[in-house]
Amino acid sequence: MRWRTLVASALLLVTAAACGPGKVSPTDSLVARASATDHLTIGIRFDAPGLSERTVDGRFVGFDVDVATFVASELGVAAKDITWRETTSATRETDLTSGAVDLVVATYSITDKRKQLVSFAGPYFTTGQDLLVRRTSPDITGPETLNGRRLCSVTGSTPAEQVRDRFAQAVQLVEYPRYPDCVTALLAGQIDAMTTDGVILAGYVTRDPELLKVVGKPFSKESYGVGLRKGDTQGVNAVDDAIRKMISSGEWLRSLNANIGPSGYQLPAPPEVTEK
């Protein structure tokens, strides 16, 4: 009998703790969740040099990491209380809708299709889709020169979708889950070019500057937003305010100069954080 009483009391304690102060439901605004738990789980890429990368000693560095850290701090969450979780191009929406992450800061273009599933704050950066080629391929000068060639991109990304819509007849599209897989295939001569946002491609050139180059003729406009659970207007407003503050305080430019500057990528002007 006694052990049953003990188990029942323990269960009561656990239930009380789960419902007590500091606990929030997954449908609460990001703002309420951040202030109640002092913790955020943020989805980022682990493999985009200059933007967001996991170092060999387990740290996370890059412009997206700085944006995420700034936003978290404005929501009252210290850098040490952020859990970084890898998200890939194809999993960003489900990572948000399943509640696996609170926020996505991962080279995430704001699109109407994605807005059906998630909400966006921002934009916080603008770039354009471009091509990465081997230095030994001077004849690839734009998407119109890809006739009959193999082009690599990542499943779930806007560049892969755009290529399918605009150049599908001419190009043989090869899709991988992650961009470094495309870079490896390009270096090995298995594909002829790779496409994604210019700022991402610039980061890969810094790794192999003697072998790779960006064509440098962007053919889309990508506006990066911070992804939140759909309908969290309070969260969107709070993240918008944080992005505006990051830009006006000079921290936005400092981070870009430090993280993207070394690649030589021409930095754009700060975007206007608008109604989405």
Closest residue by Cα to residue 105 from 58, 52, 156, 155: 52
**Contacts of ligand GLU in 230-249 (CB under 6 A):** none
Q: Could you tell me if 129 and 196 are in contact, meaning their C-beta atoms sit under 8 angstroms apart?
A: yes
Least distance (Å) from ligand GLU to the CB of residue 57?
25
Please provide residue 206's backbone torsions phi and psi, each rounded to the nearest 5 degrees. Answer: -60, -20
CB-based burial label for 49 (10 Å; 0-12, 13-18, 19+)? buried
C-beta closer to ligand GLU: residue 69 or 196: 196
Q: How many residues sit close enough to ligand GLU to count as binding (CB under 6 A)?
A: 12
Q: Is 204 in the site for ligand GLU (CB under 6 A)?
A: no
- Reported residue count of the chain is 276
Least distance (Å) from ligand GLU to the CB of residue 188?
21
C-beta closer to ligand GLU: residue 196 or 259: 196
Q: Could you tell me if 111 and 123 are in contact, meaning their C-beta atoms sit under 8 angstroms apart?
A: no
| Alpha-carbon distances, residue 83 vs 38, 39, 56, 93 (angstroms) | 11, 8, 17, 18
Closest residue by Cα to residue 259 from 50, 59, 44: 50
Least distance (Å) from ligand GLU to the CB of residue 153?
8
Least distance (Å) from ligand GLU to the CB of residue 223?
9
**Contacts of ligand GLU in 155-194 (CB under 6 A):** 157-159
Least distance (Å) from ligand GLU to the CB of residue 8?
50
Least distance (Å) from ligand GLU to the CB of residue 224?
7
C-beta closer to ligand GLU: residue 33 or 197: 197
CA gap 245, 248 in Å, rounded: 5
CA gap 137, 250 in Å, rounded: 39
Least distance (Å) from ligand GLU to the CB of residue 104?
10
How large is the angle between the packed helices 30-37 and 233-248, nearest 10 degrees?
A: 80
C-beta closer to ligand GLU: residue 197 or 232: 197
Q: Could you tell me if 28 and 233 are in contact, meaning their C-beta atoms sit under 8 angstroms apart?
A: no
Query: Contacting ligand GLU (CB under 6 A), which of 175, 222, 232, 240?
Result: 222
Candidates 31-39, 66-74, 115-123, 154-162; binding stretch for ligand GLU (CB under 6 A): 154-162
CA gap 89, 44 in Å, rounded: 10
Least distance (Å) from ligand GLU to the CB of residue 108?
5
C-beta closer to ligand GLU: residue 200 or 205: 200
**Contacts of ligand GLU in 80-119 (CB under 6 A):** 89, 107-109
C-beta closer to ligand GLU: residue 66 or 197: 197
Beta bridge partners of 43: 85, 104
Closest residue by Cα to residue 48 from 114, 132, 117: 132
| Interface characters, 16-55, with ligand GLU (x: CB under 6 A) | ----------------------------------------
The residue ranges that bind ligand GLU (CB under 6 A) are 89, 107-109, 154, 157-159, 196-197, 200, 222
